[in-house]
Structure 1
Amino acid sequence: MARRQIVTILVDDDLTGQELAEEEADTLTFTLDGVSVELDTSKEEANKVREFLARYMAAGTIVPTRGGGRRTGVVSARPVPSQAPASRPAGIRSDRDAARQVLNDKVRAWAKANDMPVKDRGRIASNIYEAYAQATGEDISAARG
């Protein structure tokens, strides 16, 4: 007789305390005022948070993490000069690279908040850059050079 084992993964919603099936849950990771937070909640609630923060993320400066860590939904205010890192993070060779990285992070955050398909790393499709530029009115030439 063949046996089949079915495993169901449940996630506790940090906002409601409700148990959610894994496919109904989403995890938001962000940093605010130097405090890193990971929030497990429903996909619907996570999308509300993303929509709410999209305006702020588009206007702010997304600061690359040190040590090449993953950036997923990172939210950060513009750094005060005394808080700015003394050296560039790994992979950022010039001011132009830094500007390109900041723009790419903004475009990714905007695309995710607007349910557009974009990966956390790698090339961003030109249609996503164009949609971002049209929606925000921001110059995207830093990403093209």
Structure 2
Amino acid sequence: MIVGEIVLFLLVVLALISLIQPITRLLFGRPSRPANKEDLELQEILRDLSEKRRVLQSRKEISVKRSEINDIEAQLARISLEEELARVQSDLKARREQRDQMKLIRRSRADLAKTEAAITVLEQDEERLKIAIDSNPD
């Protein structure tokens, strides 16, 4: 009977030990047995892959940011061109108005010169008429 109890006790201890390994894996995230060379290599590969994934994600984010920056620069260039176009159009309009005013001034001066010439002719005609009237009393 004592032998049976000892065997039963040893079986219970072995069962507890076999239960402790999965529990420690769950709690601590690592095996309770020492890692072998293959496990270490796999862990290193996983770390390398994780780092490469982070680098790729960073590169994607950088690429997206560069694209956004390029879009903003293109918008700024377009806005700058639109502002320059508006300024040039405004200058052109002002020059056209100035040209039209200069034409009007030239026409007015020409009309004034014609009017002055006509007045001079009329004054001369008036003088001739006065002289003709004065020399011919009848």
**TM-score bucket of the superposed structures, by smaller chain:** under 0.3
TM-score by length of 2: 0.18
Larger helix proportion, structure 1 or 2? 2
Structure with the greater alpha carbon radius of gyration: 2
Larger strand proportion, structure 1 or 2? 1
The structure showing larger relative contact order (alpha-carbon pairs under 8 Å, at least 6 residues apart) is 1
TM-score by length of 1: 0.17
